[in-house]
Chain A
Amino acid sequence: MIQMKAKVIKGARILQEAVTTQHGTDHEYTTTGLNHRKLLMWAFLGSDCMFFGSLIATYMVYYGKSKVGPFPEDLFSIPITSVSTFVLLMSSMSMVLAYAAIRKGSLKGFRVWILSTALMGMTFLAFQVFEFYEFANHEVHFDCSQVGTGNLSAFEESFQNECIEGVTTVDGIHDSDGNNLTGLTPKTNLFGTTFFTLTGFHGAHVTLGVIWLLSLFFYSFRGGVTRERDLDVDLAALYWHFVDIVWIVIFTVVYLFGVFPGFPES
């Protein structure tokens, strides 16, 4: 019966009455046969590209325009960030394995992998918190004999006036209350402003993702995650991978391009 009509009506794939309203929303009638929520998620991710695009554009437009330090090369530690990047990449694999597990109906496998994804996400966030803390408390230490030799960064050179008679090494710059004056905060310079905003919003996306993953994990113990509703996992996974690819861009543009030896000094 259905097939007969579908032949008669060009463009009609299936006739099914209740449109927006089936209980299990995964298999309702749609014109394209695609799920509403999945379409929404992809449209959202396309839109989110514009969000991060604007943040990245701001970061790059202001690259090298900071008037005072510290600058990227004073702060970035590529080995440490490489580790956190690796963790986030592996969390993507773990996520996709969680999805593969639920599609096979393996609730146990799902729980293991989704929990490990969330834990890796939290590890990434811990790295980020550590990094922000380190940057905010960055201190300059240099040997006064190195001033003018080209071995010091521009930022360190800017403190050469500290090398007065009888001072051989500079160990941090502090105000009279002992506060560190050489850390990077969002207020310090354009680099701080744009760096913390860009990576902070990425971190916020990761945080949201971790909450989502943990919700799925706990919901699975109440029977909320099933093979039939694998789409719930699929959507969380798409979001999680998106956060990962945004980091791929940030890692290259902000970290690697930020400090590689050939780049013009700020």
Chain B
Amino acid sequence: MAQNEDMSTETHLGSENHSDHPTPLTYFKVAMILSIITAIEVGIFYVEDLSYGIIPILTILSVMKFALVIMFYMHLRYDNRLFSTLFLTGLALAFLVVIALLALFQFFTPS
């Protein structure tokens, strides 16, 4: 297809968002944040005083990493919301099913 036809398609649809992607610098910054969070995770792991407090902290830190990767590296933040909907439907359902299964197997019930 001719180049100009592509262009016109894009201006009409305007949804692939070829323009406002982040720059390599942003990608690098995200990588730095990811590394720092991982370092904190591993560091916290050795703080014995935290005991069970480590669970919420590590959970929050991993969720942050997860969110950074899908928002920036998988550019969901800049992309059509339909992509997010498709993915988050599966993700949310998987999360709920895992939690329900664990509850049914008394994972959260102290023995």
Contact = CB atoms under 8 A, between A and B. Distances in A.
| Complex contact flag A–B (Cβ < 8 Å) | yes
Interface in A36-66: 38-39, 42-43, 45-50, 52-54, 56-57, 60-61, 63
Chain A interface mostly = helix
Given A78-B42, A252-B59, A256-B41, A262 B54 contact: yes
A32 interface: yes
Interface string A93-111: 1011100100100000000
B14 A92 contact: no
A34 B102 contact: no
Contacts of B61: 252
Given A46-B86, A57-B102, A245 B48 contact: no
The number of chain A residues touching the other chain, given as a range, is 35 or more
Interface stretch (A83-91, A143-151, A163-171): A83-91
A27 B98 contact: no
Contact of A46 (B1, B38, B91): B91
B66 A256 contact: no
Contacts of A261: 48, 51
Contact of A39 (B5, B65, B83): B83
Nearest to B61: A252
Interface in A208-266: 228, 237-238, 241-242, 244-245, 248-249, 251-252, 256-257, 260-262
Q: Which of A32, A78, A97, A238 has the most CB of B within 10 A?
A: A238
The 7 A-B residue pairs with the shortest CB-CB distance in the complex, in nearest-first order: A46-B90, A33-B13, A53-B94, A262-B51, A93-B31, A33-B15, A49-B90
Given A53-B95, A257-B58, 7 more contacts: A6-B12, A34-B16, A92-B73, A241-B70, A241-B74, A244-B73, A256-B45
